[in-house]
Amino acid sequence: MNRLTNLFQHKTADVLNVYFTAGFPQLNDTVPVLRALQEAGADLVEIGMPYSDPVADGETIQRSNQQALENGMTVGKLFEQLQDIRQQGITVPILLMGYLNPVVQFGVEKFCQHCQAVGIDGVILPDLPLEVYEREYRPLFAEYGLKVVFLVTPQTSAARVRQLDALADGFIYLVAAAGTTGAQTDMNADVDAYLSRTKELGLRNPTLVGFGISDAASFAAASRHTTGAIIGSAFIRLLQQTPAGERTAAIHDFVAGIRPVLA
């Protein structure tokens, strides 16, 4: 069974998804970071395929993208790095997140084939329009066992949330507040109202909250009405700040610190 589907069958609360950029801080850090996250207890890992023009991302992730590109990261290179992770004890569900153009240039079907070959469970392509997905890509993604995640924001109408939920089969990514990744979201009453409003829609997919989740308090607030939350920029900052030799321990502490009760 798809690892993502399996995860949500067994875990319906406090799911922690951690995002990091492939090839960052160093080109060959992708797999070590992934392994450290699995060992630290992340439920789900989202690997970002770097892009030159990530319009939905704030400064922290932009810079990590730029650094990764300078390091020589490409879609092809990422698949090489991930080649036999599933034979080497990586069992955590993995999503690839990225902007559409590099995937289109790689070739969408070839991309799906490679995802299946290395054991990727799903994709998040934020600038892939819903109707283009439905018309052109849906059968392909299904054929190669890739689950699809769509974003929803506080401005998304209820009708459109239902439409997105009907086509998504991984989870629904709830963007906490209007803004790019890494924006300081305080988990205020507005956000809480939006999350509980979304919960009342009774979506068929699990929901994970992202954008501005950085610590135990924001994780707990975000998870109150949802299946869990996604941490990106705060984790990228950790990778930036930590010397390579201390990284595994730092990742362990970081993940443990997000869910102190569970750790």
Partner 1 sequence: MTLTAPSPYRVDAAGYYGTFGGAYVPEMLYPNVEELRDNYLRIIEEPGFQREFTQLLTDYVGRPTPLFLAERLSAHIGTTIYLKREDLCHTGAHKINNTIGQILVAKRLGKRRIVAETGAGQHGVATATVCALMGLECIVYMGAVDIERQRPNVDRMRMLGAQVVPARSGSQTLKDATNEAMRHWISNPTDTHYIIGSVVGPHPYPDMVSRFQSVISAEIIRQLLHQTGRATPDFVLACVGGGSNAAGAFYHYLDEPSVRLIAAEAAGQGVDTGHSAATTALGKPGILHGASTILMQTEDGQVTEPYSISAGLDYPGIGPQHAQLFATGRAEFMSITDKAALDAAFQLSRLEGIIPALETAHALACLPLIGAKKDDVVVVCLSGRGDKDLATYTKHLEEYS
Binding residue for partner 1, selected from 27, 31, 56, 201, defined by CB under 8 A: 56
CA angle in degrees (0–180, nearest 5) for 140-226-233: 75
Contact status: 4 vs partner 1 (CB under 8 A) = no
Of 131 and 186, which has the nearer Cβ to partner 1? Answer: 131
CA 198 to each of CA 146, 150, 164, 225, 258: distance values in angstroms, whole numbers, following the listed order: 25, 14, 13, 9, 24
- Structure tokens belonging to residue 154: 């506080």
Candidate ranges 71-79, 86-94, 112-120, 140-148; the one touching partner 1 (CB under 8 A): 71-79
How many whole angstroms separate alpha carbon 172 and alpha carbon 191? 16
Closest to 253 measured CA to CA, from 211, 215, 219: 215
- Structure tokens belonging to residue 236: 């990228």
Sole residue written with tokens 């030159």: 52
Residue 142: partners with Cβ closer than 8 Å, 6 or more residues away: none
**Least gap, CB of 132 to partner 1 (angstroms):** 7
How many whole angstroms separate alpha carbon 15 and alpha carbon 94? 14
Binding residue for partner 1, selected from 58, 93, 206, 232, defined by CB under 8 A: 58
Summary count for the chain: helices (H), strands (E):
13, 9
Q: At what angle do helices 59-71 and 233-241 cross, to 10 degrees?
A: 50
Q: Which of residues 181-240 bind partner 1 (CB under 8 A)?
A: 183
Binding residue for partner 1, selected from 9, 28, 76, 257, defined by CB under 8 A: 76
Candidate ranges 15-23, 83-91, 178-186, 188-196; the one touching partner 1 (CB under 8 A): 178-186
H-helix or E-strand spanning residue 204: none
**Least gap, CB of 138 to partner 1 (angstroms):** 16
Sole residue written with tokens 């922690």: 16
Q: Which of residues 100-139 bind partner 1 (CB under 8 A)?
A: 100-106, 126-129, 131-132
Of 66 and 116, which has the nearer Cβ to partner 1? Answer: 66
Annotated catalytic residue, options 43, 46, 165, 169: 46
**Least gap, CB of 263 to partner 1 (angstroms):** 32
Is 46 among the residues known to form the active site? Answer: yes
The residues that touch partner 1, with contacts defined as CB under 8 A, are 51-53, 55-56, 58, 62, 66, 69, 74-76, 99-106, 126-129, 131-132, 150-153, 155-157, 160, 164, 175, 178-180, 183
Annotated catalytic residues are 46, 57
